[in-house]
Amino acid sequence: MNKANKANYAKSRQSFLCLLIWLVFSLSLQAAVLEEDRADVLYHSYDGGGMKIDGPAILLRKKASESVALSAYYYVDTISSASVDVLSTASAYSEERQEGQLGIEYLHDKTTMALSIRQSDEDDYLANSVNFNVSHDTFGDLTNLSLGLAFSDNEIRRNGDDLFEEQSQQYRIRAGISQILTKNLSIALNIESVADEGYLNNPYRTVRYIDSSVPAGVGYQSEVYPNTRNSFSTKLSASYYLPYRAALFLHYRHFSDSWKIDANDIELSYRHPFGKTVELELKVRYYQQTQASFYSDLFSHQNAQNFLARDKELSDFDDLTLGLGVTYLIPKQFSISDWRSEVSLQWDYITFNYNNFRDPTAEAALGEEPLYGFSAHVIRAFFSVYF
């Protein structure tokens, strides 16, 4: 099937996968103590812009000793899409994706090391990655230093073309420092550098150009991306704990890359408990980015430049997220074997506004179509047991 929207669904599930990894590793990397044993069952759903993604995930974490912990997760999602990208040049499609990860953590004194391997498999994409993190508490356990390395090797295929096979690799290095400033205030600074090389564009996606030789006045050709991409991001976070166990969280992130994309996002969230069993979370997030240097909604002619892109995720756009979450701590008499357990439901509403990507399905003159925009709903449900 022609899947011109693959990049979009990959981006939309990114936050969910990051959340899975956070559940498996991050809490133990914040301090020199292994997290308690836990099992999680999760469900994720994204619906917007003609695209629907949903699927379950299972996570398990178990300490083998006081210094060693093992973890694993398995994630499946199904994707069906009839987005503007698909409708303009191809037909709707559906597919399934599976991902699994195994990890081990080792605690020595005030240093925690974590190693994981992960595989993600689709019918035309296979990714294998390895990830290593180390963190260390110092200065009276008020400061935490962390360093991480990751490598991914990817195999890209194209459905309907048995001869097509490309490769790409990704290298990541990240570093962070978190500091407890007062009993209520803590801050963290994280930086990350990513280097991609190989086949980086989507084998199904096309660009459009003015072609007066055909009745429609428009022609299409495959996208052409550079075979390298280097990016650097910085994230600053602050947490402030209020009376009655409430808390405020602020995150700011800046991103830039060798494709001339500059992006900024800021997120503010507030958590408030009600009694001993219910916690409410509210959040707002704003994201904005500039376009890639080789992006255009409509090129003047075929082969207009060396590199060509019309992926709307490389255009100039912004989005706004409003989020609501509720967590309920299940009373012990209703829990499994008196283990502590909780359920959580999170809902995000996201509006996307594209500033130089036009809707090619609209009835308008070529290059004068209305600018594209859409909204999406994201639902995440969790059931967690600590044992």
Are 350 and 324 in contact, with CB atoms under 8 Å apart? no
Taking the C-alpha atoms of residue 277 and residue 335, their distance in angstroms, rounded to an integer, is 13
**What is the residue-wise DSSP string for 360-383?**
TTSSS-TT-SPEEEEEEEEEEEEE
Q: How confident is the model at residue 27 (pLDDT cuts 50, 70, 90)?
A: very low
Q: What is the pLDDT of the chain when averaged over all its residues?
A: 91
The residue with tokens 């809707």 is 359
Distance of alpha carbon 178 from alpha carbon 365, whole angstroms:
54
Residue 169's SS3 state is strand
Q: Which residues contact 197 (CB under 8 A, 6 or more apart)?
A: 168, 169, 170, 227, 228, 229
Q: Which domains does the chain have, with CATH numbers?
A: 6-386 (2.40.160.50)
SS3 category, 36: coil
Say if residue 253's pLDDT is above 50.
yes
pLDDT of 359 strictly over 90: yes
Mean pLDDT across the stretch 51-69?
A: 95
Q: Tell me which residue of 10, 2, 72 sits closest to 38, measured CA to CA.
A: 72
pLDDT of amino acid 12? 47
Strands 93-108, 68-81: pairing is: antiparallel
Query: Which residues make beta-bridge pairs with 336?
Result: none
pLDDT at 227 over 50: yes
**28: pLDDT strictly greater than 80:** no
- Tokens 């080789």 appear where? 294
Residue range 312-316: mean pLDDT, rounded: 97
Report the alpha-carbon distance of residue 240 to residue 242 in Å, rounded. Answer: 6
Average pLDDT over residues 255-284: 97
Predicted TM-score (pTM) of this structure? 0.89
- For 290-315, letters b (16+ CB in 10 Å) and e give bbbebbbbbbeeeeeeeebbbbbbbb
**Cα–Cα distance measured from residue 295 to residue 224, given in angstroms and rounded to the nearest whole number:** 10
* Residue 53 contacts residue 76 (beta carbons within 8 Å): no
pLDDT of residue 16: 56
Q: In residues, how long is the chain?
A: 387
Number of H helices, E strands in the chain: 4, 18
* Dist. CA 152–CA 118, nearest whole Å: 9
Whether residue 294 has pLDDT greater than 90:
yes
- Per-residue pLDDT tens over the stretch 161-185: 999 999 999 999 999 999 999 999 9
15 pLDDT band (50/70/90 cuts)?
low
